[in-house]
Amino acid sequence: MVETMERPRAFRPEMAGEVGSNTRQPGWDLATERRIDDGETLARFLGWFSIGLGAVEVLAPERLGRWLGTENRTLIQGYGMREIATGVGILSSRRPAEWIWARVAGDALDLATLATALGSDNPRRGNVGLALGAVAGVTVLDVLCGVQLSRRRDH
């Protein structure tokens, strides 16, 4: 007679010692289980976001510059390369916290650069204000993700 164990409908961390034991079929692969607030999912999103934003900055610097009221194509493309590099770093790293903190540093640079375009001589300063708000919002996500990943690494 084979004893069967009813499979749980949901996994809870306190079940780690029980799930998969005494069963004929393998249990859950606990290495793939994650908490929603561990930062990994957000890090993946931010990695892809970086690559997408970087691609826009590299491929359409004139258009983005016109929208912001600035014409520094080389600077925009350089920032785009930085975005792509951090995105690839986040997605390819087993421990992406350092790459997320690199994004935070890049955000500070972006905010400082955008602030210089807020002058009264820029007819597009309203667009610059929108960009500043967007970068500030993403900065909050970056910091939240960095804290989550760093906290996880410390434990």
Q: For 79-143, give the DSSP string.
A: HHHHHHHHHHHHHH-SSTHHHHHHHHHHHHHHHHHHHGGGSTT-TTHHHHHHHHHHHHHHHHHHH
Residue pair 107/146 in contact by the 8 Å Cβ criterion: no
21: tokens are 């034991």
SS3 content of the chain, % helix, strand, coil (to 5): 70, 0, 30
Look up tokens 């164990």; give the residue: 5
pLDDT tens digits along 99-124:
999 999 999 999 999 999 998 899 99
pLDDT tens digits along 53-93:
999 999 999 999 999 999 899 999 999 999 999 999 999 99
Look up tokens 């029980």; give the residue: 18
Percent of the chain residues topping a pLDDT of 70: 74
pLDDT for 71: 84
Q: pTM to 2 decimals?
A: 0.74
Confidence category of residue 21, pLDDT binned at 50, 70, 90: low
pLDDT tens digits along 133-152:
999 999 999 999 999 999 87
